[in-house]
């Protein structure tokens, strides 16, 4: 199972918005993130990249 952490990038800074992400989908300018406990985070913005080996999801507003 791949578990990831989602970061929002703003210039040189990055902020963790969700941890232990097991599911991700993108639709109509929103990124839906669901963690291992079933909690859902909806992020309005752009998916920049997903690194499955390192468990990093990069997002941008």
In DSSP terms, 2 is beta-bridged to none
Distance from C-alpha of 42 to C-alpha of 21, rounded to nearest angstrom: 12
pLDDT of residue 38: 97
The structure tokens 């990831």 sit at 4
Instruction: Note the pLDDT of residue 12.
Output: 87
Kindly write down the DSSP assignment for every residue of 2-61, as one continuous string: --EEEEEEETTEEEEEEEEEEEEEEETTEEEEEETT--EEEEESEEEEEETTTTEEEEE-
Q: What is the pTM of this model?
A: 0.92
Which residues in the chain show pLDDT less than 50?
none
Q: Which residue has the tokens 């468990």?
A: 55
Q: What is the pLDDT of residue 11?
A: 84
């Amino acid at each position: 199972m791949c578990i990831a952490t989602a970061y929002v990038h703003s210039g040189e800074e990055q902020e963790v918005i969700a941890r232990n992400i097991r599911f991700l989908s993108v639709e109509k300018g929103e990124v839906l993130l669901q963690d291992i406990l079933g909690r859902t985070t909806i992020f309005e913005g752009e998916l920049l990249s997903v690194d499955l080996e390192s468990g990093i999801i990069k997002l941008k507003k």
